[in-house]
Amino acid sequence: MFIEQAYKGNNTWWRVLITAAITMGIFIMNFIMFLIVSKEDMAKTYDLMKQLPKNLSLFINLLPFVFLLGILFLLVYFLHERSILSLTTSRKKVDYKRILFSFGLIVFISLASFVVSYQMDSSNIKWNFNPINFSILFVLSCLLLPFQIGLEEYLFRGFLMQQVGIVVKNRWFPLVLTSVLFGLFHSANPEVAEMGFGVMTFYIGTGFLLGIMTLMDEGLELSLGFHLGNNLIAATLITSDFSALQTDAVFKYSGVQNPNDMLTEMIISIVITYPIILFILAKKYNWTNWKQKLTGKIIAIPELVNVEND
């Protein structure tokens, strides 16, 4: 019933277009940059950003998401005339226990993976901890990352998945479309410039993981917790010169990274780690009827439709 929540609002095409255009602006700009800007100019831009204090750079990068998420909420509430709850979940209220569980799950897996890899080979991982800088980083991350991941989840897995779903009247197409868009709109990240377009398979694969979570669980709670935990660990645990976010993390990768090795690690995550995560969630939350929830038809339920479209 998650996609069907869109029927609670006003879905006139021009309203949907306005909301999508305004809130997707930052992602569209990133994608355009990837297409038209040369690698040399992109490298110069990244080098310029690296000259800023890391915490200031993080603040500048994340601040726009505060305003964009607020704008998305305002447009959904006033322009589409429906609640933020309907954008979040099909449940009667937000299940914060789900958010905390998926957050804890990915944090545990990430930390465990780091410990194992560190024990196997720590030659290229150096201690980077600075108490003052890290404290500022941690506070900034806790304050601003929820807005960054919130915009991405509410926009891709929330608004777009719901609106596309009620147009095409099925579940598989919005799952595929939002996952691909999620990947493509990360194309301006430094990792892509460093490792090539192959890294997009990781972003798209992550989009599919989060989309499957959303459809199987009928809400954004699990994807919100997972995304926040993943990004928080990425920002605070270990950084590198080619990370999307340059931070004063606890550790720093100091070696010369082989793009093929990085891509292999990402593919392993998609092929092995992600199915394990879905298996754990499926067992905990008793997911059933996978085919219907991931590919089934969308039917307008009369009691959900409470606004007449123009």
Q: What is the pLDDT of residues 68-107, one digit of tens each?
A: 999 999 999 999 999 999 999 999 999 999 999 999 999 9
Q: What is the pLDDT of residues 33-59, one digit of tens each?
A: 777 877 677 667 767 777 788 999 899
CB-based burial label for 39 (10 Å; 0-12, 13-18, 19+) = exposed
* Residue 306 within any structural domain of the chain: no
Helix (H) or strand (E) holding 253: strand 251-253
- CA dist 256 → 79, 123, 124, 194, 242 (Å): 50, 11, 8, 11, 10
Both structure tokens of 299: 């039917």
pLDDT number for residue 267: 83
pLDDT number for residue 302: 61
* Euclidean distance between CA atoms 209 and 275, whole angstroms: 8
* Residue 310 within any structural domain of the chain: no
pLDDT number for residue 279: 97
Among 232, 214, 221, 202, which residue's Cα sits nearest to residue 107? 232
* Residue 27 within any structural domain of the chain: yes
Residue 2 per-residue DSSP state: T
Residue 170 per-residue DSSP state: B
Residue 193 makes CB contacts below 8 A (sequence gap 6+) with 39, 42, 43, 46, 242
pLDDT number for residue 159: 97
* Residue 108 within any structural domain of the chain: yes
- CA dist 263 → 180, 183, 195, 199, 258 (Å): 18, 15, 8, 6, 9
* Residue 255 within any structural domain of the chain: yes
Residues of the chain with pLDDT under 50: 307-310
Task: Dump the DSSP string for 34-62.
Answer: HHHS-HHHHHHHHHHHHTS-HHHHHHHHH
pLDDT number for residue 308: 46
Q: What pTM did the predictor assign?
A: 0.92
Both structure tokens of 87: 């954008």
* Residue 196 within any structural domain of the chain: yes
Both structure tokens of 296: 């089934």
Count of domains in the chain? 1
* Residue 206 within any structural domain of the chain: yes
pLDDT number for residue 33: 74
Among 230, 242, 239, which residue's Cα sits nearest to residue 274? 230
Domain that holds residue 75: 3-301
pLDDT number for residue 134: 96
pLDDT number for residue 305: 64
* Residue 309 within any structural domain of the chain: no
For residue 151, the one-letter residue type is: L
14-30 in b/e form (b: 16+ CB < 10 A) is ebbeebbeebbeebeeb
